[in-house]
Amino acid sequence: MLGKGATLYGSADYFPSGSADYFPSEHERMFCLMLSQGDQGEYSAIAWLGKTFRSVSVPLGNCSDYDVVADIDGKLAKVQVKTSRQRVGDRYCVTLCTRGGNQSWNGIVKRFSADRCDFLFAHTAEGRRWFVPSAKVDGTTSIVLGGPKYAEYEIEPGWPLTLS
């Protein structure tokens, strides 16, 4: 287990500017290296949702409408998880639509819709994270996070995304 101030790579230089003091929760320390970017985002969501709401489930098989289910105030909430490394200045562009995933693309773009999930959980390369009610997401193909529009939905940071 890592001690306070320790990093996975033995150097505080690994953390982006301003985040070296962040120490992840015990749940977050369980998942860190050599996972795909999407898996890192899902594990980050599971750790935060579990810490915040205590009860989290993951659907068996691949569910393209949502990735995680959390019991929020006695109601099961479907959560779509997205990750992004696409930085634009001090903000991140998060792609919401799906263009085929791991299967051969059939030319159909599946756009984000609040009808298919209750919340969007976004995790960016530096570890910044947001938990946004789907009805507040103003986009179907992408949104920009890090500015004032979604500031009220930013939550505590997680681990920076590792290269996989």
Q: Rounded to two decimals, what is the model's pTM?
A: 0.76
61, part of any domain: yes
10, part of any domain: no
Q: How far apart are CA 19 and CA 141, in angstroms?
A: 29
44, part of any domain: yes
45, part of any domain: yes
| Mean pLDDT (whole number) for 98-103 | 64
Structure-token match 């500015």, residue found: 147
The count of domains in the chain is: 1
Domain of 77: which CATH number?
3.40.1350.10
Structure tokens at 77: 């909430």
Q: Are 68 and 46 in contact (CB under 8 A)?
A: yes
pLDDT of residue 106: 66
Structure tokens at 78: 């479907």
Which of 25-34, 71-80, 91-100, 150-159 shows the lowest per-residue confidence on average (mean pLDDT)? 25-34
Q: How far apart are CA 83 and CA 45, in angstroms?
A: 11
Ramachandran assignment for 147, one of left (phi > 0), alpha (psi -120 to 50 degrees), beta (any other) = beta
Q: What would the pLDDT profile of 128-152 be if each residue is shown by its tens digit?
A: 999 999 999 999 999 999 999 999 9
| Mean pLDDT (whole number) for 60-73 | 88
Looking at the chain, how many residues does it have? 164
Q: Which residues span the domain enclosing 78?
A: 26-155
Q: Side chain identity at 138, as an amino acid letter?
A: D
Lateral strand order in the sheet of 142-145: 87-88, 91-95, 142-145
14, part of any domain: no
87, part of any domain: yes
109, part of any domain: yes
5, part of any domain: no
